[in-house]
A and B are shown apart, each in its own frame.
Chain A
Protein backbone atom coordinates (compact mmCIF):
# COMPACT_ATOMS: atom_id res chain seq x y z
CA UNK A 1 0.00 0.00 0.00
CA UNK A 2 2.65 2.50 1.01
CA UNK A 3 4.56 1.59 -2.14
CA UNK A 4 1.60 2.80 -4.18
CA UNK A 5 1.27 5.96 -2.12
CA UNK A 6 4.96 6.54 -2.75
CA UNK A 7 4.50 6.10 -6.48
CA UNK A 8 1.40 8.26 -6.51
CA UNK A 9 3.30 11.08 -4.83
CA UNK A 10 6.15 10.58 -7.30
CA UNK A 11 3.61 10.75 -10.09
CA UNK A 12 2.11 13.97 -8.75
CA UNK A 13 5.58 15.55 -8.44
CA UNK A 14 6.51 14.47 -11.94
CA UNK A 15 3.10 15.61 -13.16
CA UNK A 16 3.57 19.08 -11.66
CA UNK A 17 6.92 19.40 -13.42
CA UNK A 18 5.27 18.30 -16.66
CA UNK A 19 2.57 20.86 -16.00
CA UNK A 20 5.14 23.66 -15.65
CA UNK A 21 6.71 22.65 -18.96
CA UNK A 22 3.46 22.20 -20.85
CA UNK A 23 1.55 25.20 -19.61
CA UNK A 24 4.07 27.50 -21.28
CA UNK A 25 3.86 25.57 -24.53
CA UNK A 26 0.08 25.71 -24.48
CA UNK A 27 -0.20 29.41 -23.59
CA UNK A 28 2.28 30.31 -26.30
CA UNK A 29 0.39 28.24 -28.84
CA UNK A 30 -2.94 29.69 -27.71
CA UNK A 31 -1.94 33.35 -27.94
CA UNK A 32 0.76 33.40 -30.61
CA UNK A 33 -0.49 30.44 -32.63
CA UNK A 34 3.15 29.47 -32.61
CA UNK A 35 4.59 25.97 -32.30
CA UNK A 36 7.70 26.08 -30.12
CA UNK A 37 9.89 23.02 -30.68
CA UNK A 38 12.67 24.74 -28.71
CA UNK A 39 10.64 24.46 -25.51
CA UNK A 40 12.55 21.41 -24.25
CA UNK A 41 15.85 23.10 -25.06
CA UNK A 42 15.00 25.99 -22.76
CA UNK A 43 14.18 23.48 -20.03
CA UNK A 44 17.68 22.15 -20.67
CA UNK A 45 19.21 25.60 -20.17
CA UNK A 46 17.29 25.95 -16.90
CA UNK A 47 18.64 22.67 -15.59
CA UNK A 48 22.26 23.43 -16.60
CA UNK A 49 22.08 26.92 -15.12
CA UNK A 50 20.89 25.26 -11.92
CA UNK A 51 23.90 22.94 -12.06
CA UNK A 52 26.34 25.81 -12.60
CA UNK A 53 24.88 28.11 -9.97
CA UNK A 54 24.79 25.31 -7.40
CA UNK A 55 28.38 24.30 -8.29
CA UNK A 56 29.63 27.88 -7.99
CA UNK A 57 27.73 29.05 -4.95
CA UNK A 58 26.39 25.91 -3.36
CA UNK A 59 23.10 27.75 -3.12
CA UNK A 60 20.13 25.99 -4.73
CA UNK A 61 17.72 28.76 -3.74
CA UNK A 62 19.74 31.25 -5.74
CA UNK A 63 19.49 28.93 -8.75
CA UNK A 64 15.74 28.60 -8.23
CA UNK A 65 15.35 32.38 -8.17
CA UNK A 66 17.74 33.36 -10.96
CA UNK A 67 17.89 30.55 -13.52
CA UNK A 68 14.25 30.83 -14.67
CA UNK A 69 14.70 34.60 -15.06
CA UNK A 70 17.79 34.09 -17.21
CA UNK A 71 15.90 31.55 -19.33
CA UNK A 72 13.00 34.00 -19.68
CA UNK A 73 15.41 36.76 -20.71
CA UNK A 74 17.01 34.50 -23.34
CA UNK A 75 13.54 33.60 -24.61
CA UNK A 76 12.63 37.28 -24.78
CA UNK A 77 15.73 38.01 -26.89
CA UNK A 78 15.08 35.02 -29.15
CA UNK A 79 11.51 36.17 -29.69
CA UNK A 80 12.49 39.76 -30.45
CA UNK A 81 15.25 38.85 -32.87
CA UNK A 82 14.07 35.70 -34.59
CA UNK A 83 10.74 34.22 -33.67
CA UNK A 84 8.60 37.31 -34.25
CA UNK A 85 9.65 37.22 -37.89
CA UNK A 86 8.03 33.81 -38.30
CA UNK A 87 4.52 34.40 -36.90
CA UNK A 88 3.01 35.10 -40.31
CA UNK A 89 4.52 31.93 -41.78
CA UNK A 90 2.87 28.48 -41.78
CA UNK A 91 3.45 26.16 -38.82
CA UNK A 92 6.01 24.10 -40.73
CA UNK A 93 8.35 27.12 -40.63
CA UNK A 94 7.80 27.50 -36.89
CA UNK A 95 8.89 23.90 -36.47
CA UNK A 96 11.97 24.31 -38.68
CA UNK A 97 13.10 27.50 -36.97
CA UNK A 98 12.57 26.32 -33.41
CA UNK A 99 14.04 22.90 -34.14
CA UNK A 100 17.11 24.78 -35.38
CA UNK A 101 17.19 26.82 -32.17
CA UNK A 102 16.83 23.63 -30.13
CA UNK A 103 19.79 22.02 -31.90
CA UNK A 104 21.95 25.12 -31.43
CA UNK A 105 21.11 25.18 -27.72
CA UNK A 106 21.81 21.46 -27.35
CA UNK A 107 25.19 21.68 -29.10
CA UNK A 108 26.16 24.79 -27.13
CA UNK A 109 25.25 22.95 -23.96
CA UNK A 110 27.50 20.07 -24.96
CA UNK A 111 30.39 22.37 -25.83
CA UNK A 112 30.08 24.28 -22.55
CA UNK A 113 29.27 21.48 -20.11
CA UNK A 114 30.34 18.37 -21.98
CA UNK A 115 28.35 15.44 -23.35
CA UNK A 116 28.10 13.55 -20.09
CA UNK A 117 25.31 14.16 -17.63
CA UNK A 118 25.85 15.72 -14.22
CA UNK A 119 24.09 15.51 -10.93
CA UNK A 120 22.85 18.33 -8.74
CA UNK A 121 22.66 17.77 -5.01
CA UNK A 122 19.50 18.38 -3.06
CA UNK A 123 19.69 21.58 -0.96
CA UNK A 124 20.75 21.01 2.65
CA UNK A 125 17.47 22.13 4.16
CA UNK A 126 15.61 19.51 2.13
CA UNK A 127 17.97 16.57 2.63
CA UNK A 128 16.46 13.44 4.08
CA UNK A 129 12.93 12.20 4.40
CA UNK A 130 9.65 13.41 5.75
CA UNK A 131 8.05 10.87 8.05
CA UNK A 132 4.39 10.34 8.81
CA UNK A 133 3.66 7.20 10.82
CA UNK A 134 5.25 4.37 8.84
CA UNK A 135 5.36 6.39 5.67
CA UNK A 136 8.56 8.07 4.50
CA UNK A 137 8.93 10.44 1.59
CA UNK A 138 11.94 12.49 0.40
CA UNK A 139 11.60 16.07 1.61
CA UNK A 140 12.83 17.57 -1.62
CA UNK A 141 10.19 15.77 -3.69
CA UNK A 142 7.51 16.97 -1.32
CA UNK A 143 8.87 20.48 -1.68
CA UNK A 144 8.64 20.21 -5.49
CA UNK A 145 4.95 19.27 -5.28
CA UNK A 146 4.10 22.14 -2.95
CA UNK A 147 6.24 24.72 -4.71
CA UNK A 148 4.87 23.79 -8.15
CA UNK A 149 1.32 23.95 -6.77
CA UNK A 150 1.98 27.46 -5.45
CA UNK A 151 3.36 28.49 -8.85
CA UNK A 152 0.35 26.92 -10.57
CA UNK A 153 -2.01 28.88 -8.33
CA UNK A 154 -0.10 32.14 -8.89
CA UNK A 155 -0.20 31.53 -12.63
CA UNK A 156 -3.92 30.85 -12.49
CA UNK A 157 -4.43 34.14 -10.65
CA UNK A 158 -2.31 35.93 -13.23
CA UNK A 159 -4.28 34.49 -16.15
CA UNK A 160 -7.77 34.70 -14.64
CA UNK A 161 -7.67 37.74 -12.37
CA UNK A 162 -5.44 40.35 -13.99
CA UNK A 163 -5.70 42.59 -17.00
CA UNK A 164 -2.60 40.93 -18.46
CA UNK A 165 -4.29 37.53 -18.15
CA UNK A 166 -7.49 38.81 -19.73
CA UNK A 167 -5.43 40.15 -22.65
CA UNK A 168 -3.72 36.77 -23.08
CA UNK A 169 -7.08 35.00 -23.10
CA UNK A 170 -8.60 37.59 -25.42
CA UNK A 171 -5.60 37.39 -27.73
CA UNK A 172 -5.87 33.62 -27.98
CA UNK A 173 -9.34 34.17 -29.43
CA UNK A 174 -8.69 37.12 -31.72
CA UNK A 175 -5.44 39.11 -31.82
CA UNK A 176 -6.78 41.61 -34.36
CA UNK A 177 -9.49 42.85 -31.99
CA UNK A 178 -6.97 43.06 -29.15
CA UNK A 179 -4.85 45.38 -31.33
CA UNK A 180 -7.93 47.40 -32.21
CA UNK A 181 -8.31 48.16 -28.51
CA UNK A 182 -4.87 49.77 -28.50
CA UNK A 183 -2.91 46.93 -26.92
CA UNK A 184 0.75 46.78 -27.93
CA UNK A 185 0.35 43.32 -29.37
CA UNK A 186 4.05 42.68 -30.02
CA UNK A 187 4.91 43.44 -26.41
CA UNK A 188 2.13 41.12 -25.25
CA UNK A 189 3.55 38.38 -27.50
CA UNK A 190 7.14 38.84 -26.27
CA UNK A 191 6.17 38.87 -22.60
CA UNK A 192 3.95 35.82 -22.98
CA UNK A 193 6.66 33.93 -24.85
CA UNK A 194 9.22 34.80 -22.16
CA UNK A 195 6.79 33.81 -19.41
CA UNK A 196 5.91 30.46 -21.01
CA UNK A 197 9.52 29.57 -21.74
CA UNK A 198 10.64 30.81 -18.30
CA UNK A 199 8.26 28.27 -16.75
CA UNK A 200 10.02 25.51 -18.71
CA UNK A 201 13.30 26.86 -17.30
CA UNK A 202 11.82 26.70 -13.80
CA UNK A 203 10.79 23.09 -14.40
CA UNK A 204 14.39 22.37 -15.45
CA UNK A 205 15.69 23.78 -12.17
CA UNK A 206 13.19 21.87 -10.01
CA UNK A 207 13.86 18.59 -11.78
CA UNK A 208 17.67 18.87 -11.69
CA UNK A 209 18.23 17.52 -8.15
CA UNK A 210 15.85 14.61 -8.86
CA UNK A 211 16.85 13.57 -12.36
CA UNK A 212 20.25 15.18 -12.84
CA UNK A 213 21.08 17.17 -15.96
CA UNK A 214 21.77 15.67 -19.35
CA UNK A 215 22.30 17.38 -22.72
CA UNK A 216 19.89 15.15 -24.65
CA UNK A 217 16.95 15.48 -22.28
CA UNK A 218 15.46 18.40 -24.24
CA UNK A 219 13.95 16.15 -26.91
CA UNK A 220 12.37 13.83 -24.36
CA UNK A 221 10.92 16.76 -22.43
CA UNK A 222 9.51 18.27 -25.61
CA UNK A 223 7.86 14.97 -26.51
CA UNK A 224 6.22 14.68 -23.11
CA UNK A 225 5.07 18.30 -23.21
CA UNK A 226 3.33 17.64 -26.51
CA UNK A 227 1.67 14.52 -25.13
CA UNK A 228 0.42 16.56 -22.15
CA UNK A 229 -0.90 19.32 -24.36
CA UNK A 230 -2.62 16.87 -26.71
CA UNK A 231 -4.27 15.13 -23.74
CA UNK A 232 -5.28 18.36 -22.01
CA UNK A 233 -6.17 20.35 -25.11
CA UNK A 234 -4.20 23.09 -26.89
CA UNK A 235 -4.38 26.47 -25.19
CA UNK A 236 -5.93 25.25 -21.94
CA UNK A 237 -4.40 25.94 -18.50
CA UNK A 238 -6.59 23.31 -16.82
CA UNK A 239 -5.75 20.92 -19.63
CA UNK A 240 -2.02 21.31 -18.98
CA UNK A 241 -2.55 20.69 -15.26
CA UNK A 242 -4.78 17.63 -15.66
CA UNK A 243 -2.78 16.32 -18.62
CA UNK A 244 0.50 16.77 -16.73
CA UNK A 245 -0.84 14.90 -13.71
CA UNK A 246 -2.23 12.07 -15.87
CA UNK A 247 1.07 11.59 -17.66
CA UNK A 248 3.08 11.85 -14.42
CA UNK A 249 0.87 9.34 -12.64
CA UNK A 250 0.73 6.88 -15.52
CA UNK A 251 4.49 7.02 -15.90
CA UNK A 252 5.16 6.63 -12.20
CA UNK A 253 2.65 3.84 -11.53
CA UNK A 254 3.80 1.92 -14.59
CA UNK A 255 7.37 1.86 -13.29
CA UNK A 256 6.18 -0.45 -10.50
CA UNK A 257 3.72 -2.46 -12.57
CA UNK A 258 5.41 -2.78 -15.96
CA UNK A 259 8.57 -0.65 -16.23
CA UNK A 260 9.28 -1.37 -19.92
CA UNK A 261 5.82 -0.20 -20.86
CA UNK A 262 5.80 3.12 -19.07
CA UNK A 263 6.52 5.24 -22.16
CA UNK A 264 4.20 3.11 -24.23
CA UNK A 265 1.37 3.69 -21.75
CA UNK A 266 1.77 7.47 -21.98
CA UNK A 267 1.25 7.34 -25.71
CA UNK A 268 -1.55 4.85 -25.12
CA UNK A 269 -3.25 7.35 -22.81
CA UNK A 270 -2.79 10.02 -25.46
CA UNK A 271 -4.29 7.84 -28.20
CA UNK A 272 -7.20 6.99 -25.92
CA UNK A 273 -7.95 10.69 -25.26
CA UNK A 274 -7.64 11.58 -28.94
CA UNK A 275 -10.14 8.86 -29.84
CA UNK A 276 -12.66 10.08 -27.28
CA UNK A 277 -12.03 13.80 -27.55
CA UNK A 278 -10.01 14.86 -30.60
CA UNK A 279 -9.40 18.34 -29.15
CA UNK A 280 -8.20 17.00 -25.80
CA UNK A 281 -9.94 16.94 -22.45
CA UNK A 282 -10.26 20.71 -22.11
CA UNK A 283 -9.63 21.87 -25.67
CA UNK A 284 -12.03 23.94 -27.69
CA UNK A 285 -12.64 22.74 -31.19
Chain B
Protein backbone atom coordinates (compact mmCIF):
# COMPACT_ATOMS: atom_id res chain seq x y z
CA UNK B 1 0.00 0.00 0.00
CA UNK B 2 1.29 3.44 -0.84
CA UNK B 3 -0.38 6.82 -1.20
CA UNK B 4 1.59 9.62 -2.83
CA UNK B 5 0.41 13.17 -3.37
CA UNK B 6 2.68 15.18 -5.60
CA UNK B 7 2.35 18.93 -6.17
CA UNK B 8 -1.43 18.93 -5.74
CA UNK B 9 -3.33 22.17 -6.45
CA UNK B 10 -7.00 22.34 -5.47
CA UNK B 11 -9.46 25.20 -5.68
CA UNK B 12 -12.92 26.18 -4.51
CA UNK B 13 -14.01 28.34 -7.41
CA UNK B 14 -11.23 30.90 -7.72
CA UNK B 15 -9.85 30.45 -4.24
CA UNK B 16 -6.60 28.51 -4.36
CA UNK B 17 -6.65 26.21 -1.31
CA UNK B 18 -3.98 23.55 -1.88
CA UNK B 19 -0.89 25.17 -3.34
CA UNK B 20 1.31 22.34 -4.53
CA UNK B 21 0.92 19.93 -1.66
CA UNK B 22 3.02 16.75 -1.52
CA UNK B 23 2.87 13.96 1.03
CA UNK B 24 3.13 10.21 1.37
CA UNK B 25 1.60 7.47 3.45
CA UNK B 26 3.37 4.12 3.41
CA UNK B 27 2.17 0.63 4.16
CA UNK B 28 0.90 0.18 7.72
CA UNK B 29 1.81 3.73 8.68
CA UNK B 30 -0.28 6.04 10.82
CA UNK B 31 0.43 9.56 9.64
CA UNK B 32 -1.14 12.74 10.94
CA UNK B 33 -1.94 15.89 9.03
CA UNK B 34 -1.91 18.87 11.38
CA UNK B 35 -2.59 22.53 10.89
CA UNK B 36 -4.70 25.45 11.92
CA UNK B 37 -8.36 25.93 11.06
CA UNK B 38 -8.64 26.64 7.37
CA UNK B 39 -5.16 25.33 6.53
CA UNK B 40 -6.59 22.90 3.98
CA UNK B 41 -6.64 19.56 5.85
CA UNK B 42 -10.20 18.63 4.93
CA UNK B 43 -9.58 19.80 1.38
CA UNK B 44 -6.60 17.45 1.18
CA UNK B 45 -8.75 14.47 2.18
CA UNK B 46 -11.52 15.55 -0.18
CA UNK B 47 -9.00 15.86 -3.00
CA UNK B 48 -7.76 12.32 -2.38
CA UNK B 49 -11.35 11.04 -2.58
CA UNK B 50 -12.08 12.99 -5.76
CA UNK B 51 -14.81 15.09 -4.15
CA UNK B 52 -12.67 18.13 -4.85
CA UNK B 53 -10.97 17.69 -8.25
CA UNK B 54 -7.33 18.87 -8.21
CA UNK B 55 -6.50 21.11 -11.16
CA UNK B 56 -2.85 20.13 -11.17
CA UNK B 57 -0.59 17.51 -9.63
CA UNK B 58 -0.91 13.80 -9.08
CA UNK B 59 -2.37 11.54 -6.43
CA UNK B 60 -1.26 7.93 -6.77
CA UNK B 61 -2.53 4.99 -4.79
CA UNK B 62 -0.66 1.73 -5.27
CA UNK B 63 0.70 3.32 -8.46
CA UNK B 64 -2.76 4.05 -9.84
CA UNK B 65 -3.49 7.70 -10.66
CA UNK B 66 -6.57 8.87 -8.74
CA UNK B 67 -6.89 12.36 -10.19
CA UNK B 68 -9.79 12.28 -12.66
CA UNK B 69 -11.33 9.18 -11.13
CA UNK B 70 -14.77 9.26 -9.56
CA UNK B 71 -15.31 9.11 -5.82
CA UNK B 72 -16.93 5.67 -5.85
CA UNK B 73 -14.05 4.25 -7.92
CA UNK B 74 -11.50 5.67 -5.49
CA UNK B 75 -13.44 4.15 -2.60
CA UNK B 76 -13.38 0.79 -4.37
CA UNK B 77 -9.59 0.90 -4.64
CA UNK B 78 -9.62 0.63 -0.85
CA UNK B 79 -9.61 4.17 0.53
CA UNK B 80 -12.29 4.99 3.10
CA UNK B 81 -12.95 8.52 4.33
CA UNK B 82 -14.60 9.19 7.66
CA UNK B 83 -15.71 12.78 7.04
CA UNK B 84 -15.68 15.66 9.49
CA UNK B 85 -19.49 15.76 9.51
CA UNK B 86 -19.57 11.93 9.87
CA UNK B 87 -22.22 11.48 7.20
CA UNK B 88 -24.54 9.20 9.16
CA UNK B 89 -27.83 8.59 7.34
CA UNK B 90 -30.52 9.71 9.74
CA UNK B 91 -33.32 7.85 7.95
CA UNK B 92 -31.45 4.54 8.11
CA UNK B 93 -31.01 2.37 11.18
CA UNK B 94 -27.52 1.78 12.57
CA UNK B 95 -27.57 -1.67 11.01
CA UNK B 96 -28.63 -0.33 7.60
CA UNK B 97 -25.92 2.34 7.78
CA UNK B 98 -23.43 -0.50 8.13
CA UNK B 99 -25.10 -2.86 5.66
CA UNK B 100 -24.92 -0.47 2.71
CA UNK B 101 -21.18 -0.08 3.30
CA UNK B 102 -20.29 -3.79 3.46
CA UNK B 103 -17.92 -4.97 0.76
CA UNK B 104 -17.00 -8.62 0.54
CA UNK B 105 -13.49 -9.57 1.54
CA UNK B 106 -13.11 -6.91 4.23
CA UNK B 107 -11.09 -7.82 7.30
CA UNK B 108 -14.06 -6.71 9.41
CA UNK B 109 -17.67 -7.75 9.00
CA UNK B 110 -20.68 -6.30 10.82
CA UNK B 111 -20.21 -8.77 13.70
CA UNK B 112 -16.59 -7.67 14.15
CA UNK B 113 -17.44 -3.98 14.32
CA UNK B 114 -20.24 -4.70 16.81
CA UNK B 115 -17.64 -6.45 18.92
CA UNK B 116 -15.31 -3.43 18.62
CA UNK B 117 -18.14 -0.98 19.38
CA UNK B 118 -20.61 -2.77 21.72
CA UNK B 119 -22.57 0.47 21.97
CA UNK B 120 -23.47 0.20 18.28
CA UNK B 121 -24.77 -3.33 18.80
CA UNK B 122 -27.10 -2.04 21.52
CA UNK B 123 -28.28 0.74 19.23
CA UNK B 124 -28.45 -1.33 16.02
CA UNK B 125 -32.22 -0.86 15.56
CA UNK B 126 -32.09 2.87 16.28
CA UNK B 127 -32.24 5.46 13.53
CA UNK B 128 -29.10 7.40 12.68
CA UNK B 129 -30.84 10.55 13.93
CA UNK B 130 -31.14 9.04 17.42
CA UNK B 131 -27.40 8.70 18.03
CA UNK B 132 -25.20 10.90 20.19
CA UNK B 133 -22.16 12.57 18.67
CA UNK B 134 -19.87 9.86 20.00
CA UNK B 135 -22.09 7.08 18.69
CA UNK B 136 -22.20 8.77 15.29
CA UNK B 137 -18.42 8.90 15.22
CA UNK B 138 -18.20 5.22 16.15
CA UNK B 139 -20.72 4.33 13.46
CA UNK B 140 -18.86 6.37 10.87
CA UNK B 141 -15.62 4.52 11.74
CA UNK B 142 -17.34 1.12 11.84
CA UNK B 143 -18.87 1.83 8.46
CA UNK B 144 -15.45 2.61 7.03
CA UNK B 145 -14.04 -0.62 8.47
CA UNK B 146 -16.63 -2.90 6.81
CA UNK B 147 -15.92 -1.07 3.53
CA UNK B 148 -12.68 -3.04 3.00
CA UNK B 149 -10.19 -0.23 3.55
CA UNK B 150 -6.47 -0.48 2.89
CA UNK B 151 -6.15 3.17 3.80
CA UNK B 152 -8.36 5.02 6.23
CA UNK B 153 -8.70 8.82 6.07
CA UNK B 154 -10.05 10.25 9.32
CA UNK B 155 -11.10 13.88 9.64
CA UNK B 156 -11.01 15.05 13.27
CA UNK B 157 -12.52 11.89 14.77
CA UNK B 158 -12.32 13.13 18.37
CA UNK B 159 -13.71 16.62 17.76
CA UNK B 160 -16.31 17.57 20.33
CA UNK B 161 -16.29 14.21 22.13
CA UNK B 162 -16.07 13.45 25.83
CA UNK B 163 -12.67 12.22 27.11
CA UNK B 164 -13.89 8.64 27.72
CA UNK B 165 -15.07 8.39 24.14
CA UNK B 166 -11.83 9.89 22.87
CA UNK B 167 -10.00 7.11 24.76
CA UNK B 168 -12.22 4.51 23.16
CA UNK B 169 -11.56 5.91 19.71
CA UNK B 170 -7.81 5.96 20.35
CA UNK B 171 -7.98 2.27 21.38
CA UNK B 172 -9.82 1.46 18.15
CA UNK B 173 -7.22 3.36 16.12
CA UNK B 174 -4.52 1.26 17.77
CA UNK B 175 -6.37 -1.89 16.78
CA UNK B 176 -6.76 -0.66 13.22
CA UNK B 177 -3.05 0.00 13.02
CA UNK B 178 -2.25 -3.45 14.46
CA UNK B 179 -4.40 -4.93 11.69
CA UNK B 180 -2.01 -3.32 9.21
CA UNK B 181 -4.42 -0.76 7.74
CA UNK B 182 -2.71 2.54 6.95
CA UNK B 183 -4.21 5.71 8.39
CA UNK B 184 -4.01 9.37 7.45
CA UNK B 185 -5.36 11.20 10.48
CA UNK B 186 -6.42 14.83 10.65
CA UNK B 187 -6.65 15.76 14.31
CA UNK B 188 -6.43 18.84 16.52
CA UNK B 189 -5.77 16.91 19.73
CA UNK B 190 -1.96 16.84 19.82
CA UNK B 191 -1.84 14.37 22.71
CA UNK B 192 -3.78 11.87 20.66
CA UNK B 193 -1.58 12.47 17.63
CA UNK B 194 1.69 12.10 19.47
CA UNK B 195 0.51 8.92 21.11
CA UNK B 196 -0.47 7.25 17.86
CA UNK B 197 1.50 8.55 14.92
CA UNK B 198 4.58 7.26 13.15
CA UNK B 199 5.01 10.51 11.29
CA UNK B 200 3.48 14.00 11.16
CA UNK B 201 2.88 16.63 8.51
CA UNK B 202 2.05 20.22 9.34
CA UNK B 203 0.00 22.11 6.78
CA UNK B 204 -0.18 25.89 6.53
CA UNK B 205 -2.12 27.73 3.83
CA UNK B 206 -2.17 24.76 1.50
CA UNK B 207 1.49 23.83 1.84
CA UNK B 208 3.41 21.34 3.96
CA UNK B 209 5.65 23.38 6.27
CA UNK B 210 6.96 20.54 8.42
CA UNK B 211 7.28 16.81 8.16
CA UNK B 212 8.99 14.49 10.59
CA UNK B 213 8.86 11.35 12.67
CA UNK B 214 6.98 11.11 15.92
CA UNK B 215 10.21 11.30 17.83
CA UNK B 216 11.43 14.42 16.02
CA UNK B 217 8.05 16.16 16.31
CA UNK B 218 7.99 15.81 20.09
CA UNK B 219 10.98 18.16 20.32
CA UNK B 220 9.71 20.72 17.79
CA UNK B 221 8.20 23.17 20.26
CA UNK B 222 8.69 26.10 17.89
CA UNK B 223 6.79 24.35 15.08
CA UNK B 224 3.94 23.63 17.45
CA UNK B 225 3.89 27.23 18.64
CA UNK B 226 4.11 28.69 15.19
CA UNK B 227 1.63 26.55 13.28
CA UNK B 228 -0.54 24.75 15.77
CA UNK B 229 -1.08 27.08 18.72
CA UNK B 230 -4.58 28.45 18.82
The yes or no answer to B194 lying at the interface (CB within 8 A) is no
**Cα distance A184–B147 in the bound complex, in angstroms:** 14
Give B140-155 interface residues, CB cut-off 8 Å to A: 143, 147
* Given A181-B143, A184-B72, A169 and B91 contact (CB-CB distance below 8 Å): yes
Q: B92-124, CB under 8 A of A: which get 1 and which 0? A: 100011011101000000000000000000000
Q: Is the CB of A179 within 8 A of B70?
A: yes
> For the side of the interface on A, what is the size category?
10 to 19
Interface centre among B89, B100, B101, B147 (most CB of A within 10 A): B100
> For chain B residues 54-86, which have a beta carbon within 8 Å of chain A?
70-72, 75-76, 80-81, 83
> In the complex, how many angstroms separate the beta carbon of A197 from the nearest chain B beta carbon?
23
Q: Are B91 and A176 in contact (CB under 8 A)?
A: no
State how many angstroms separate the Cβ of A183 from the closest Cβ of chain B. Answer: 6
Query: Which residue of chain A lies nearest to B89 when distances are taken between CB atoms in the complex?
Result: A170
What CA separation (Å) do A167 and B89 show in the bound complex? 10
Chain B: number of interface residues, binned into ranges: 20 to 34
Contact of B75 among A167, A170, A173, A179 (CB under 8 A): A179
- Interchain nearest-CB distance for A278 vs B (Å): 20
Complex Cα distance, B75 from A170, in Å, reads 17
Asked if A185 CB lies within 8 Å of chain B CBs, one says yes
Contact B100 A167 (CB under 8 A): yes
Whether B90 is near chain A, meaning CB under 8 Å from some CB there, is yes
Contacts of A173 in B (CB 8 A): 89-91
Once the chains bind, are A169 and B87 in contact (CB under 8 Å)?
Answer: no
Interface residues in A163-207 by Cβ distance below 8 A to B read 163, 166-167, 169-170, 172-174, 176-185
Residues on the A chain within 8 Å of B87, using CB: 174, 176-177, 180
A50-90: which residues lie under 8 A (CB-CB) from chain B?
Answer: none
Contact of B89 among A163, A174, A183, A184 (CB under 8 A): A174
A163-B100, A166-B100 in contact; A182/B92 too (CB < 8 A)?
A: no
CB nearest neighbor in A for B78: A182
A258 to B49, CA, bound (A): 60
Which of B49, B90, B91, B97 lies in contact with A180, CB distance below 8 A? B49
The answer to whether A179 touches B90, judged by C-beta atoms less than 8 angstroms apart, is no
A-B contact list, 15 entries, CB within 8 Å: A163-B100, A166-B92, A169-B89, A170-B97, A173-B91, A174-B89, A179-B72, A179-B75, A180-B80, A180-B87, A181-B143, A181-B147, A182-B72, A183-B72, A183-B100
